[in-house]
Amino acid sequence: MNKQLGMDNIEQRVLLLAIYKSEPNETLQDILLTLENSKLFDLKTGKKYLKNLKNLGFIEGSNLTLLGIEEAKQVENEFKL
């Protein structure tokens, strides 16, 4: 886990991965609602995580940055183990 980037929270890491794996027509709000429905977190917490991901430079607007894509790939590899 990459604690120096504030990515020690598993729920936040799952959110980043979900954004990375999302369909082209899915919005960030759609992803938050899907994860809320799966009981990962409530919408308020999800929005806080999303804001943090933006502050960390992983998301710009509604898209992942190159940094965000690289971090999401690392998360994906960790879950494959």
State the pTM of this model.
0.88
- Bridging pattern class, strands 63-64 and 59-60: antiparallel
Given this model, what pLDDT does residue 5 score?
Answer: 47
Beta bridge partners, 64, equal: 59
The domain limits of the chain are 3-80
**Residue 5 is encoded by which pair of tokens?**
């980037």
Summarised one tens digit per residue, pLDDT across range 30-57 is 999 999 999 999 999 999 999 999 999 9
Cβ pair 35, 21 in contact under 8 A: no
Given this model, what pLDDT does residue 7 score?
Answer: 61
Q: For residue 71, give the nearest of 23, 3, 10, 13 by alpha carbon.
A: 13
